Structure 1
Amino acid sequence: MAQQVSVKKVRKEIFEKELGYKDESNPFGDQKLTEKFTWKKKNEYLQAAGLYRPSSKDQDVSKMESKVREIHQVKKRRDEREVERSLLEAQRQDHDKEMHDEEYGEWLTKEEKFHLDNAKARTQLRIEQGRERPLDLVAKSLGIAGGEEFEEMTILDKPPHQLFVNLTLDEAEEVMDEISTFCRIDKDHLDFWK
């Protein structure tokens, strides 16, 4: 009986020290967690067959220590897998972000091209319909100077800088927006527009 008591004590100490479990507080809700589980029927059959050999205190302690080492190895492998899983998740998120950024960049480029093509088409349409704005006429003059031909070859009747005389602040801001659009549309005459 003294051997059993000391094995129980060692077992309780190992559970508490190595695993942090007590009979009163453990994640399994087991009030007899530190007690050794014995298959009584199995031992009875082995004893009846003459094969039963009770284990010594040293064997029991060695077996417990072996199990604790195994538990620590399993925990270590689980922690390593968790780290690997989080690294893989971070890599996947980085990859997804890169793909999203790349797609977003392409989308922005396409959107910018779409807006510039529309601005160019609006300018052409206003010129073809004879309702040009003064800056459209400047663009038309640059096109004529570059060899383009229009149905109506009318160009400005005064120098371009005189278009800005007597403009209100709102009109001047609108003209600046149009000029910045022409800077992006008309790369051939970029120096002029700047």
Structure 2
Amino acid sequence: MGKDHESKHKKDKKNRKRHRSSSSEDSEYEREKQLDKRLAEERLQKKMEKQRAKEEMKANETPEEKKARRMAKKMKKDANRKAAELEDTLIPSELNYTNLNNPFNDTKLTQTFVWGKKLEKEGKSGLSQDEITRETGQRIRKNLTEAAEFKRIRDTRAAVKEDMEMMKRDADLRAGQMSDSKEREFQLDQVKERTRIRIDQGRAKAIDLLTRYIRFAEQNPYNATIPDFELSNPVEYMKSTCSSVEDYEDLVEDIKTYRDLDGWVKNETFWMDITRIAEDEIQKKSSQKTRDVHSGVEKEIQDMFKVKV
């Protein structure tokens, strides 16, 4: 009797535990169900809000914005379509080849080509389609990597060649400049020598006296190379050697020649002042010559009338 009572008590205890466990599971299920329902409602609400905002944007957008939006949508569709076409293909994306767009007119370009006899000869006839595709893809990527490396080497060689040619051109230019500089230096020495000879022989021109004057001002007094002479105002040198318009015109040309050899920047102020004075003298003497001609013509006319009278 006691044993039956104890057994019944244990069964009741198990039933109560089972009932509590079942109730707990039911309540957990209800909570999850309520949570899923709430999340679904929130997602639906967000979707409706997004749709409403989209409709408001469409209603308020300008024709230009509408056109731009449609263009962007079309471009996105095209990109997705191309991505779908290139999916599961062995052709790398950088080549941008498809079955309908490739330089080989191959409508099966993106499919894996299986060369049965070659695989059999290499002992790979038992490979599956996936293994063949994987091996082919590895070979294509290896070839592309090698091609990129060859291109890099070729570009590097071309760049080195271009640099060498540029260096050669620079060297030739420097050599030419040095040659021109030596040529100008030689010609300047010749000009100085002719100046010295004309001065020594007493037939100096204005340019000879002026260049001697400016070189004397430039030289180091402790290392003088020009013999002593009487310094005068440079204008006096011009007046003593130039007596006609032609003399002053020759002086202007001589100044240009000398500056071309000695450098246009060197003693620029001095030579510009001398040139202005010479040009002013040319203008004065030309005007005087014109007046003299007019006076001479007038005198001849008067003499003619006197003879007739």
Q: Which TM class, normalised by the smaller chain length?
A: 0.5 to 0.7
Q: Are residue 77 (structure 1) and residue 149 (structure 2) matched?
A: yes
Q: Quick one: structure 1 residues 134 and 182, their matched pair in 2 at CA, closer, same or farther if it must change by over 3 Å? A: farther
Superposition RMSD in Å: 4.6
User: What does 1:1-194 correspond to in 2, within 5 Å?
Assistant: 13-15=89-91, 17=93, 19-39=95-115, 53-124=125-196, 126=198, 131-136=203-208, 139=212, 146=227, 159=232, 161=234, 162-165=236-239, 170=249, 173-174=252-253, 176-177=255-256
TM-score, normalisation: structure 2: 0.39
Task: Tell me how far apart the structure 1 counterparts of residues 175 and 167 of structure 2 sit (CA, whole Å).
Answer: 12
Q: 1:85 to 1:27 in 2, by over 3 A?
A: farther
Q: Distance in 2 between matches of 1:93 and 1:10?
A: 45
- Report the equivalent of 1:151: none
Identity percentage over the alignment? 21
Structure 1 residues 93 and 32: CA distance shift in structure 2, 3 A: same
Deviation for aligned residue 1:63: 0.8
Taking structure 1 as the reference length, what is the TM-score of the superposition? Answer: 0.56
Contact preservation (8 Å) 1:15, 1:34? yes
Are the counterparts in 1 of residues 100 and 107 from structure 2 also a CA contact under 8 Å? yes
- Quote how far apart the aligned CAs of 1:85 are: 2.6
Q: CA deviation at 1:84?
A: 1.2
Equivalenced residue count is 165
- Distance, in Å, in 2 between the alignment partners of 1:179 and 1:18 is 66
User: What does the per-residue CA deviation read over 1:6-57, in whole Å, with 9 as the maximum and x for residues that have no partner?
Assistant: xxx999622263632223332344454345445566678x6xxxx6734202
Q: Compute the displacement of 1:164 (Å).
A: 2.7
